[in-house]
Amino acid sequence: MNMKSDIRLDHKAIADMIPVGASVLDLGCGEGELMYMLVKEKKAKAQGIDIDEQAIYKCVAKGLSVYHGDLDSGLSDYADKSFDFVILNQSLQQVRHLESVLYDSLRVGKKVIVGFPNFAYYKARIQMFFVGKAPITPALPYQWYDSPNLHFLSISDFQEYCQKRGIKIENTKFISKSKIIKAFPNLRANIGIFLISI
Amino acid sequence: MENSVGIVETKYYTFAYPPNELVLDSGGKLGPITLAYETYGKLNEDKSNAILILHALSGDAHAAGYHEGEDKPGWWDDAIGPGKAFDTDIYYVICSNIIGGCKGSTGPSSINPKTGKPYGIDFPIITIKDMVNAQRHLIDYLGIEKLLCVAGGSMGGMQVLQWLVTYPNRIKSAIPIATATKHSPQQIALNEVGRQAIMADPNWNNGNYYDSEIPAKGLALARMVGHITYMSDKSMEEKFGRQRKNGNGSPKFSADFEVEGYLHYRGNNFVKRFDANSYLYITKAMDYFDIAQGRPLYEVFKGIDAKVLVIAFKSDWLYPTYQSLEIVKACKFAGVDATYCEIDSTYGHDAFLLELESETHLIKHFLRKVYHGYEVLDEYEI
């Protein structure tokens, strides 16, 4: 699986959106690689939340501060604008109450960075159209029966959603394999990253 | 003896001699006061490696190593020693007993200097804050300006929270484990059953039993109730099932189920090592404890710059995880740097003494960060 290089690139793309010394809340931080990088390279003040106990141990071993809990209930405890950035990288599509998590993130963070697998990536389209099967791509590596993803969205879906809801898209990065995609991202990128605010 | 701190001795510090008695939360005065404590490892030159361990309801100063001639180690020996969670090769670990107790510190079984007899229930009501104030005198005496960490489970965790709120500038970090910011009605109710068991024993005699028979039945019963609350449904099932000692041949109403035998054994053993009046005073101190005193907890936590590691256990129904989450919530809101882990354990409240592997991992890395003062490790192993 060549997901690793894509993920590295998406971490880098996220880091590029964050100025030095920013405070960051990483929702669904996993084992903390992104936070670790942000602390080391951006001197970020980072805090993470993840539901997985083993991931918490890995974060603590790196020296990171993390909360063990789920995103659907973990956000209400923060005051408005407690963080410069709230990051939802590869986690928004996995939460049950997507809209309340997204709006709570926009409340708690001055800005929000959302990264998700693009369901309309051309390889996914090919699998759907020609093979007639639920797509498996580097960014969507799961079988239909064991996927943690609850929501399937495309880059175009998210753009349209932000427009409808009056959410400002301040910056975007689209990634495929280990490249940044500029043209036709909804077809060619398997990961979309959005910097948004209200 | 491998990984053990070896042979240790309990030490005693006496202070608050009249007229400089300790002023208690209740407004009363207590003095002189003796605190029993033990230390393990070496205090470094700049006195920056001291960790204070605080014990639970029935604990004592003997947390690690062995007393001369005994084969049972201290109550948290699995967590304190060379290479362990509280690594005595690196840190200087202090375990302090509490006032109100009966393990070498001043409590209701101590001699009242005014009468020359044991205090009994003339002993003043004490609180968790009083316990912590007394410990602060010990830390002053040991010459430690700032503790690297205060850590403890259950009632030890309440003392940790009290240290955090009352002496935030005297600690660099805090590890409250399986604890609460205040007792729920359920917790108070369970304690009250224990207290009533003691006071209903005719030998209790209004706390006046030091020259006669002790209220052993009542104290044992209180402890039995306690032990039920320390385990989970599942851990009891695994440990005892419905096993019976004598098949169907037991006399009527004898303790033939293994779980009954266990509770009797625990109860009877406890009576040999614990004072019934201390049980009353300490459980009452736990019930009165309310770290926020009616204020919002996040307000109480505001401005604290100690780092906090909160640990809770999934199957703990005596101190349910929601109580630890209240600490976590307040940290989030107050901007206190904190980490929270809910360990997936089936041991119930006892887990804090048993889930050593997970606790060791969390505590070790947390302490290392606080001690060395880094943000993240320079490199990590994947």
- The overall pTM is greater than 0.90: yes
Of A43, A61, A77, the CB nearest to B332: A77
In order along its 198 residues, chain A shows pLDDT tens digits of 344 444 478 999 999 999 999 999 999 999 999 999 999 999 999 999 999 999 999 999 999 999 999 988 778 889 999 999 999 999 999 999 999 999 999 999 999 999 999 998 988 899 989 999 888 988 889 999 999 999 999 999 999 999 999 999 999 999 997 789 899 999 899 999 999 999
Question: Would you say residue B381 lies in a domain?
Answer: no
Query: Torsion over CA of A150, A155, A160 and A166, rounded to 10 degrees?
Result: 90
For the stretch B43-71, pLDDT in tens is 999 999 999 999 999 999 999 999 999 99
- Mark which residues 54-73 of A lie under 8 Å from B by CB: 56-57, 60-69
Look-up: residue for tokens 């407690």? A82
CATH number of the domain enclosing B32: 3.40.50.1820
For the stretch B65-88, pLDDT in tens is 999 999 999 999 999 999 999 999
- A180 forms beta bridges with A175
Same domain flag for B316 and B167: yes
Tell me the DSSP string of A63-90: T--EEES-HHHHSTTSPTT-EEEEEEES
Give the per-residue pLDDT at B1: 56
Same domain flag for B263 and B300: no
Residues of B with CB under 8 A from a CB of A: 307, 325, 328-329, 332-333, 335, 337-344, 358, 361-362, 365-366, 368-369, 374-377, 380
> What are the residue ranges of helices labelled H in A17-66?
33-42, 53-62
ipTM: 0.92
Gap from B382 CA to chain A (nearest CA, Å): 8
Question: Would you say residue B207 lies in a domain?
Answer: yes
CATH number of the domain enclosing B203: 1.10.1740.110
**Angle (nearest 5°) at CA A188 between A184 and A194:** 75
A60:B328 CB<8 A: no
CB contacts < 8 A, A to B, total 65
The total number of structural domains that make up chain B: 2
Query: Torsion over CA of A2, A5, A10 and A14, rounded to 10 degrees?
Result: 160
Tell me the DSSP string of A83-126: EEEEEEES-GGG-SSHHHHHHHHHHHEEEEEEEEE-TT-HHHHH
B375:A63 CB<8 A: yes
Percent of chain B residues past pLDDT 90, beyond the cut: 93
The pLDDT confidence band at residue B381, using thresholds 50, 70 and 90, is low
CATH number of the domain enclosing A159: 3.40.50.150
Tell me which residues of B are annotated as active site: 154, 316, 349
Q: Which residues in chain A have their CB less than 8 angstroms from residue B361's CB?
A: 57, 60-61
What sign for the dihedral angle of Cα B359, B363, B366, B369? negative
Give the per-residue pLDDT at B377: 83
**Cis amide prior to B19 (ω within 30 degrees):** yes
Q: Residue B81's domain spans which residues?
A: 11-181+290-372
3-class DSSP assignment, residue B356: helix
In this structure, the strands spanning B111-112 and B117-118 are: antiparallel
Question: Would you say residue B78 lies in a domain?
Answer: yes
For the stretch B282-291, pLDDT in tens is 999 999 999 9
Closest residue by Cα to residue B198 from B281, B279, B285:
B279
The total number of structural domains that make up chain A: 1
Same domain flag for B19 and B161: yes
Same domain flag for B172 and B195: no
Q: Report the C-alpha gap between A138 and A3 in whole angstroms.
A: 5
For the stretch B326-343, pLDDT in tens is 999 999 999 999 999 999
Q: Report the C-alpha gap between B225 and B353 in whole angstroms.
A: 19
Gap from A161 CA to chain B (nearest CA, Å): 30
Report, as an integer, the average pLDDT of B142-163.
98
Question: Would you say residue B329 lies in a domain?
Answer: yes
Among B224, B258, B285, where does a domain finish?
B285
Same domain flag for B109 and B131: yes
Same domain flag for B227 and B257: yes
Q: Residue A164's domain spans which residues?
A: 3-197
Same domain flag for B32 and B106: yes
Same domain flag for B177 and B323: yes
**Cis amide prior to A117 (ω within 30 degrees):** no
Average pLDDT, chain B: 96
B325:A40 CB<8 A: no
Same domain flag for B272 and B303: no
Among B260, B285, B310, where does a domain finish?
B285
Question: Would you say residue B382 lies in a domain?
Answer: no
Q: Which of A19-28, B193-202, B247-256, B358-367 has the lowest mean pLDDT?
A: B247-256
Question: Would you say residue B4 lies in a domain?
Answer: no
Does residue B382 carry a pLDDT above 80? no
